[in-house]
């Protein structure tokens, strides 16, 4: 399985709202930086962020517009992450994601997005 396939499986786990599979795709000491927020290190810290968010989502769809893998196995994604929340609220966040992998697991995950755009949708 290529690193691109692993990242696509990771995205599918988000769409399935499957927190455990998301965490299983990461190394135990994974680094997640949802830029411009503070970074998280380790699956327990990542779980504390991911699980409550997924619990409030009724549907998750990550549209992958472009995906590329370089010779070192780093995978880049250009996406729109869509979250359908309880009460009919919908969030659409444009994201550029970077995934570094080792041994078939994600070691570093960085998502770059416009925080103001996200916050305006949360209001």
Active site residues: 81, 111
Could you report how far apart the first and last alpha carbons of the chain are, in Å?
A: 41
Q: Write the burial class of residue 78 (CB in 10 Å: 0-12 exposed, 13-18 middle, 19+ buried).
A: middle
Q: Is 40 in contact with 46 (CB distance < 8 Å)?
A: yes
The CA R_g of the chain, rounded to the nearest whole Å, is 14
Q: Is 85 in contact with 56 (CB distance < 8 Å)?
A: yes
- Give the count of beta carbons closer than 10 Å to the beta carbon of residue 30: 20
């Amino acid at each position: 399985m290529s690193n691109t396939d692993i990242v696509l499986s990771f995205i599918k786990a988000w769409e399935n709202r499957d927190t455990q599979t998301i965490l299983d795709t990461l190394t135990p000491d994974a680094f997640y930086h949802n830029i411009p927020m503070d970074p998280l290190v380790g699956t327990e810290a990542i779980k504390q962020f991911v699980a409550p968010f997924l619990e409030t989502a009724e549907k998750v769809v990550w549209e992958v517009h472009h995906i590329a893998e370089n010779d070192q196995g780093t995978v880049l994604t250009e996406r729109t992450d869509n979250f359908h929340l309880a009460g009919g609220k919908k969030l659409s966040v444009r994201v550029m994601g970077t995934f570094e992998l080792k041994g078939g697991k994600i070691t570093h995950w960085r998502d770059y997005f416009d925080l103001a755009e996200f916050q305006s949708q949360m209001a």
